A and B are shown apart, each in its own frame.
Chain A
Amino acid sequence: MCETCGCGQAAVHSHGGGPAHVHTHPLSPPASLAPIELASVSLAGSVPIAGAAAGASERSRHVALGRAVLADNDARAEANRRWLAERGVRMVDLISSPGSGKTALLEATLDALSERLRVAVIVGDPETDNDARRLRGHGAEVRQVETAGSCHLDANHVTRHLEELAGDGLDLLVVENVGNLVCPAAFDLGQGARVALLSVTEGEDKPLKYPGLFHRADAVVITKCDLIPHLRWDRDACLANVQRVRPDVRVFEVSAWTGQGLSAWVDYLAAGGA
């Protein structure tokens, strides 16, 4: 097979229905294939291409890249991170499945936080500003990002709000990401800490099912702990599963309703996840 493109075929060949595919690296095609395939090169490979010269430039070549698909987003996130660091603003990104209690946890903690710090929140949802309306009145500036169906926030969503939210001085920027355990984990926003929330009704094996998120988490918050008496919740199994994908990560066990565990969580958030 061709080691460069991995297509499993010989040096000169065409892909089903597509344009001819010619390797410029030296490989000999099997004799039985060569005549046919070379003929197809001369036909399909001669499709006129705007701006392309004839002859040698028609031969395809492989360009090795090794570049992360999200490198542009990563660069934007890094710019956000520098912008925030220069202004002494800490940023925390909260990620969980829909309904695991991100907004309730923020409602329960923003009052305590905003007594100590200047806090702002960016909240992302596919539609509605319901969460922003819930979060207002707790002492923090709140901006809703309606992603119009998109399943995550990216670094540009944050950039658009930075100047307005943090330009005049801010201590802590909390991002409540779109409820989703997969996609938001792939997008660096420029946060100092990424926090994964997991409610006790979701099951102990969530970290194993969604390792991409839990592996990238700087802290894990187990929410709705007041419900444990009504559930078959295996705390040890959950903690062990967290450890398997993210060894030594910090874990908070909280209830936004009863206040259990909230003071340690508030201290962690106030420090920007430090």
Chain B
Amino acid sequence: MHELSLVAAVVDEATRVLAREGASRVLSVRLLLGVLSCADRDALEICFPLAVRDTALAGAKLDVVPEPLTLDCRACGERGTSWDPILVCSACTSAAVDVVGGRDLVIASLEVV
């Protein structure tokens, strides 16, 4: 249950973005939740309202968008996606794959005003 730390980091970053953008409030936050991100959607949604209280994100909407694993196969060159955290090429079943997406929790965008 480290999601409170995660949403606190979102608040820190959003606060910096507001200053940089000359904006004053965040209306919504869009997060990409990678299959291998070690974060839980429900826990993020529970923690978010607590973390944004008394900040420039107060009242902001949270959109959590699940992101599949994206694998590049070194054997056949195929790029594939998977909702299972199994590191195997979906085309040739080789295990020689590089994870190029779905590993992290990412702040995709902020809506600011």
Enumerate chain A interface residues (CB-CB to B < 8 A).
4-7, 15, 18-19, 21, 45, 49-52, 57-73, 150-152, 154, 182-183, 185-187, 208, 211-213, 215-216, 243-248
Contacts and interface: CB of A to CB of B under 8 A. Distances in A.
Given A52-B25, A211-B36, 8 more contacts: A5-B28, A7-B28, A19-B59, A50-B24, A68-B105, A212-B37, A247-B87, A248-B95
A186 B111 contact: no
Contact of A182 (B17, B23, B38, B112): B38
Contact of B113 (A15, A58, A215): A58
Determine which residue in A154, A183, A243 has the highest number of CB atoms from chain B within 10 A of its CB, and name it: A183
B113 A69 contact: no
A69 B1 contact: no
Measured as residues with beta carbon below 8 angstroms from the partner, the interface class of chain B is: 35 or more
B27 A65 contact: no
Contacts of A151: 1-2
B106 A57 contact: no
A186 B2 contact: yes
Interface in B75-110: 85-88, 95-97, 99, 103-110
B113 A183 contact: no
A60 B24 contact: no
Contact of A5 (B24, B36, B109, B113): B109
A69 B105 contact: yes
Contacts, number: 146
A150 B6 CA distance: 12
A18 B39 CA distance: 26
A69 B13 contact: yes
A69 B28 contact: no
Given A5-B63, A212-B36, A212-B38, A65 B85 contact: no
22 contacts: A5-B28, A15-B27, A18-B27, A19-B25, A21-B28, A21-B111, A49-B24, A52-B25, A63-B17, A64-B109, A65-B106, A68-B106, A68-B107, A69-B9, A69-B104, A70-B6, A70-B104, A150-B5, A151-B1, A186-B37, A186-B38, A244-B86
Contacts of B63: 5-7
A183 B1 contact: yes
Contacts of B41: none
Contacts of B23: 52, 57, 61
Contacts of B35: 211
The 8 closest A-B pairs by CB, nearest first: A211-B85, A183-B2, A212-B38, A247-B95, A186-B38, A60-B113, A52-B24, A69-B105
Residue from the set B27, B39, B99 with the largest chain A CB neighbour count within 10 Å:
B27
B46 interface: no
A208 B31 CA distance: 24
B106 to A, nearest CB: 6
| Residue of B21, B39, B60 with most partner-chain A CB within 10 A | B39
Contacts of A61: 23, 111-113
